[in-house]
Amino acid sequence: MTSRILLPAICVLFCTSVAAQVDDADLKSLALSRQYEALEKLARQRLARDPDDENSLWYLAEQSSDDPDIRATLLPSARHCAKHRPQAARCESALGLLIGAEIEADGGFSALLRIGEVRAHFERAVALAPEDYAMRRDLQGFYIEVPGFMGGSHRKAAEQADAVARVDAQRGHLMKAELAIGDKSFDAAERELLEVRPYDDLSLERDEEAVQVDLGSAFLDAGLPARAQAWFERLVAHDSTSADAFAGLGRALLATSQPTAAAQAFENAVKLNPRLHIQHLLASAYEAAGQHGQAIDAYRLVLGAPAEHAYADHARERLAALQR
């Protein structure tokens, strides 16, 4: 349905890539060490000095695209950056992330009209930075998750995995694992993940963990909560600083009727990353565990968090029932 965007000159690509790596160092270090508040503070400081700072825009979009207030402030900046820095891959990527999150939040017919924008921005980002794993990863995710009539494509998703594998065998396995997850070939996905050897490469370890969390979530979506629980338990045993792994474990425990343990897992996740929007899950776990006071507090937090507006009606319902 779409045509490939022509690659710019090799020299321009190379120079852009080197500059991005230099400017990216401090932000990347904070992201890898999971210092989320410090990352947001630095990114905002840098954007105040340079509104077209592609790396700051991209990290903020990656971290907070699901927050409607932050998204509303970032979208104009990302559009400006894409217009005034046409060789900046991360401006294009940030736009794709932000518009995609907006579409997911709004839903309805507007998604059909705007989904092409997301694809175009992700494709342009890959054209500008073809060896950047994050750009390839997001484009592959689009091709896997979106129906074919809206631009999704198994073949194009596989092409992204092959392209990454040619330059980075380790991350090639991650891309092939994501492809297998999309096909619900979970055993194949596990085999691909077993091939990854991060050793002392923290960046690769974080990339691997993101795919591991995706696989655990896929187990849950496929109605395999016990398998998901065992999977997430292994993840948190390996890395007790992963908020996403604890959140996944909480979902699995909730699905296997262990609400008290689920609440504890969600609490751990929020402590590790206060920006996770899982108060609705924490509230449900508290209520199911009979911890009504904590459930009321959590439901109130849902109502006060713009990023959780999709759960507001349910939160009001449950609050009314619990406060009778």
pLDDT tens digits, one per residue of 85-144: 999 999 999 999 999 999 988 877 767 788 999 999 999 999 999 999 999 999 999 999
Q: Which two tokens stand for residue 10?
A: 């090799």
Q: Which two tokens stand for residue 241?
A: 């600083």
**209-251: pLDDT as tens digits:** 999 999 999 999 999 999 999 999 999 999 999 999 999 999 9
Averaged pLDDT of the chain = 91
pLDDT given at position 309: 87
pLDDT given at position 23: 66
**39-65: pLDDT as tens digits:** 999 999 999 999 999 999 999 999 999
Distance (Å, rounded) from C-alpha 99 to C-alpha 249?
Answer: 29
Give the residue, 291 or 11, on which the prediction is more confident: 291
Give the residue, 20 or 283, on which the prediction is more confident: 283
Give the residue, 107 or 35, on which the prediction is more confident: 35
pLDDT given at position 11: 34
Of the chain, the percentage scoring pLDDT greater than 70 comes to: 93
- Amino acid making up residue 178: E
Closest Cα partner for 220 from 248, 188, 243, 189?
A: 248
- Amino acid making up residue 265: A
Q: Which two tokens stand for residue 251?
A: 């979902």
H-assigned helices in the chain: 10-32, 36-49, 54-64, 68-84, 89-106, 109-128, 133-145, 154-167, 169-182, 186-194, 202-221, 225-238, 243-255, 259-272, 279-288, 292-304, 312-322
Q: Point out the least confidently predicted range of 14-23, 189-198, 201-210, 235-244.
A: 14-23
Mean pLDDT value of segment 168-197: 98
Q: How many CB atoms lie within 10 A of CB 289?
A: 18
Give the residue, 107 or 303, on which the prediction is more confident: 303
What are the residue ranges spanned by the domains of the chain? 1-130
Q: Are 124 and 3 in contact (CB under 8 A)?
A: no
pLDDT given at position 1: 34
Q: Are 267 and 279 in contact (CB under 8 A)?
A: no
Q: Are 219 and 231 in contact (CB under 8 A)?
A: yes
Q: How many CB atoms lie within 10 A of CB 200?
A: 6
Closest Cα partner for 34 from 65, 59, 67?
A: 59
Distance (Å, rounded) from C-alpha 300 to C-alpha 280?
Answer: 10
pLDDT given at position 2: 34
Is CATH 1.10.3470 what the domain over 1-130 is classified as, yes or no?
Answer: no
How many Cα atoms are found within 13 Å in the side-chain-facing hemisphere of 145? 14
